[in-house]
Amino acid sequence: MQCYTFANTGAMDLIGQRTGKSRRTALCFSIESMADSKIAPMLTVDPAHHVARDVYKLMTGIIVPRPVALVSTVDRNGVANVAPFSFFCGVGAVPPTLLFCPALRADTGALPGRKDSLRNVEETGEFVVNVVSEALAAAANATSTEVPPEVDEFVLAGLTPLASEAVRPPRVAESPAQMECKLLQVIYTGSHAGSGVIVLGEIVRLHVREDLVESFRVDPAGLDAVGRMAGNTWVRTRDRIELIRPK
Ligand SMILES: Cc1cc2nc3c(=O)[nH]c(=O)nc-3n(C[C@H](O)[C@H](O)[C@H](O)COP(=O)(O)O)c2cc1C
């Protein structure tokens, strides 16, 4: 265990203003295991020289674990759509924003290049992100079936639509937490099959099961969220560690 004590003058407070206070800060951490280990040989890849499939496999293997957004949308005729997206993350709280990324696929005619979720968001400007618990994981996985746009995945996966407050797409009632979103921006990173599309939305309503929240803190055990690793592997969030952040 290594410990360092240092004077900390003119410290920044949480909103980045100088407080003018001076204090001593102790920082302790264990670096023995890293110091003792040799630098392992690395596979180094220039994506320009590899097929997209292999680059995708490496990315999904090392960008882990990824939370799963179960995204509900409606098309312009009101037909509902649900699909999981693990290229998903929160962006900021002021305004509250998140993003998910429906990649383009090869246009086969029956299945167009734009996934239904993307087309619906672009047409209606609204979507809901439903958090996936382990109890919901199998049904969420079932909604990833590549089906034509007219198929309602709520029906396909036996999910219960629950009316949203501020947007038209329904929430997934079986989800322990849902975020109603209005579209801010869509960014295409390319135009080929496999190109990512960033869908950035502002969260206009947050819903969390009441029994899981106390003073706005969410009980992670009760939420029981799952994430995605590579391929068909998912991960639970039941094995957690605590690390106290240095001040
Ligand atoms: C756990 C999981 C995560 C997924 N994540 C993504 C993703 O981040 N981006 C993507 O384009 N497809 C992802 N997919 C595949 C889509 O869910 C699938 O293409 C789906 O059919 C799209 O539905 P839609 O056409 O109704 O939008 C994922 C599938 C699973 C099972």
Q: DSSP assignment of the chain, as one string?
A: -EEEEEEEES-B-TTS-B---EEEEEEEE--HHHHHSPPPP-----GGGS-HHHHHHHHHHHS-SEE-EEEEEE-TT--EEEEEESSEEEEEETTEEEEE--------SSS-SS-HHHHHHHHHSEEEEEE-BHHHHHHHHHTTS---TT--HHHHTTPPEE--SSSSSPEETTSSEEEEEEEEEEEES-SSTT--EEEEEEEEEEEE-GGGEETTEE-HHHH-BEEE-STT-EEES-S----PPP-
Residue 144 has pLDDT above 50, yes or no: yes
Same domain, yes or no, for 92 and 210?
yes
In a domain, 152, yes or no: yes
Q: Are 245 and 23 in contact (CB under 8 A)?
A: no
Same domain, yes or no, for 127 and 15?
no
Same domain, yes or no, for 138 and 32?
no
At residue 18, the pLDDT reads: 40
Residue closest via CA to ligand 1's atom 20 equals: 144
Report how many domains make up the chain: 2
Residue 16 binned pLDDT confidence (cut-offs 50, 70, 90):
very low
Residues 66-82 as b or e (16 or more Cβ within 10 Å = b): bbbbbbbbbbeeeebbb
Query: pTM of the prediction?
Result: 0.87
Percent with pLDDT over 90 in the chain: 79
Q: Name the residue with tokens 């509250």.
A: 96
At residue 32, the pLDDT reads: 58
Same domain, yes or no, for 182 and 112?
yes
Q: Name the residue with tokens 């919901």.
A: 136
At residue 181, the pLDDT reads: 99
Residue 149 binned pLDDT confidence (cut-offs 50, 70, 90):
confident
Structural domain boundaries, residue 113:
66-236
Residue 12 has pLDDT above 50, yes or no: no
Cβ neighbours of residue 10 under 8 Å, at least 6 residues apart?
18, 19, 20, 21, 22
Same domain, yes or no, for 6 and 90?
no
38's tokens: 């040799």
Mean pLDDT to the nearest integer, 84-92: 98
115's tokens: 């996934």
At residue 91, the pLDDT reads: 98
At residue 20, the pLDDT reads: 46
Same domain, yes or no, for 81 and 203?
yes
At residue 148, the pLDDT reads: 86
Residue 140 binned pLDDT confidence (cut-offs 50, 70, 90):
very high
81's tokens: 């759509």
Residue closest via CA to ligand 1's atom 18 equals: 144
Same domain, yes or no, for 132 and 178?
yes
Locate the ligand 1 atom nearest the alpha carbon of residue 153 and give its number. Answer: 26
Same domain, yes or no, for 24 and 129?
no
At residue 38, the pLDDT reads: 86
In a domain, 46, yes or no: no
Same domain, yes or no, for 84 and 195?
yes
Nearest-CA neighbor of 178 among 120, 216, 133, 141? 133
Mean pLDDT to the nearest integer, 170-180: 98
Same domain, yes or no, for 102 and 158?
yes
Q: What is the CATH number of the domain that holds 115?
A: 2.30.110.10
Residue 109 binned pLDDT confidence (cut-offs 50, 70, 90):
confident
Same domain, yes or no, for 174 and 218?
yes
In a domain, 121, yes or no: yes
In a domain, 205, yes or no: yes
In a domain, 21, yes or no: yes
Per residue in 42-83, pLDDT (tens digit) is: 999 999 999 999 999 999 999 999 999 999 999 999 999 999
Per residue in 209-227, pLDDT (tens digit) is: 999 999 999 999 999 999 9
In a domain, 117, yes or no: yes
Locate the ligand 1 atom nearest the alpha carbon of residue 88 and give its number. Answer: 8
In a domain, 72, yes or no: yes
Which residues approach ligand 1 with their CB closer than 6 A?
68, 81, 83-87, 101-103, 115-117, 141, 144, 146, 228
Give me ligand 1 centre to Cα 211, in Å. 30
Cα end-to-end distance, the chain, whole Å: 18
Same domain, yes or no, for 30 and 75?
no
Residue 24 binned pLDDT confidence (cut-offs 50, 70, 90):
low
Compute the mean pLDDT over every residue in the chain, rounded to the nearest whole number: 90
Q: Which of 86, 118, 128, 232 to mutate to test the pocket of ligand 1 (most atoms within 8 A of CB)?
A: 86
107's tokens: 């246009």
Give me ligand 1 centre to Cα 144, in Å. 5
In a domain, 109, yes or no: yes
Higher pLDDT, 72 or 149: 72
